[in-house]
Amino acid sequence: MYESLLKPLLFRLPAESAHRLAFGALRIAHAVPGVKRVMRASFDARAAGLEVRAFGLRFPNPIVLAAGFDKHAEGYEALCSLGFGAVEVGTITGQKQPGNPRPRLFRLPADRALLNRMGFNNCGSERAEKHLRRPRTDVVGINIGKTKLVPDESAIDDYVLSAERLGPLADYLVVNVSSPNTPGLRDLQAASRLRPLLVSVRAALDRVCLSRRPPLLVKIAPDLADEEILAVADLALELGLDGIVATNTTIARTGLATDAAAVAALGNGGISGAPLRARSLAVLRLLRSRVGSRLTLVAAGGVETVDDAWERLRAGASLVQIYTAFVYDGPALPSRLARGLLERARAEGFATLQAALDHHHATRATNGAAVAKPSNVS
């Protein structure tokens, strides 16, 4: 139905208008009594064998909706009803902001990609806090970033404000320093600037999260040089972070099927989707080679198929995030990916997906040495 009816209609609209319409309709429908139960049954992705563990949390499956879709933290429950193992909301900034001028979101259908320069448009941490106080049973990560109008010298204070407000409500918290659409933000990825930021955010979480401090992760760009990626990995290990999300969108424009002049005419922004596949996988493998099992890795960028997701998990990721493929393939995608991963695990002789991940991660940790696999591992 999505491919034959809804997608053609939505793709006739500007990309941001289509997003607002589809997401709004989903939230309205989900609020109708009985619809939540029907949706969760229709997009079931909570089989016992699908559950995975990451940074001390249990996820019903490893398919996570990446930040950028639910920017205001207002529809995460409806999205989880589509079969996601978790939803990462945001990016949320200390202060409310409208983002960059429209148009700011574009489709590149020939590349199965999106180009965006949204600029962290969101309701701000104070309003988001109210949205996130609703009782929930789903796993919700919170992605925080810098308010555009806040000067660079006050960036840490801005992140701390969001961490103090949202940390107690987060199942896990992600510090986003890798969007290309806020001037100067990516400069915060340099270890000399990232260190005080992460130390301050973690100290804020320690102050306000009295019963449980949420796992703390950092999200990095695919455009960093390999040595810069390793520097972030070393810093994350040194500071005792819980994980790294790899990767955000790319500013690279090479290898696109879309005409270069047409892409240039759209202007600046980060590209997500299939063009990111190779580089995001390479970054994931590089990180895994550096951190081993000491950090949880979350893969993002160019994941469209069960093959893509399985490859990321085998490469060392514990969770796999999608965004652009969800736009192109529709609401059945998360449950289809999750069930497909369990089929892959069972085809290899494992009773559960977690058992398969434990085996493959252990194999990588021993630099490819053979690891004995008993039959019908559970």
Measured between alpha carbons, how far is 376 from 36 in angstroms, rounded to an integer?
35
Q: Are 116 and 179 in contact (CB under 8 A)?
A: no
Asked if 179 is an active-site residue, the reply is yes
Q: What is the amino acid identity at position 60?
A: P
| Catalytic position from the list 178, 179, 272, 318 | 179
Measured between alpha carbons, how far is 334 from 310 in angstroms, rounded to an integer?
13
The residues that are catalytic are: 179
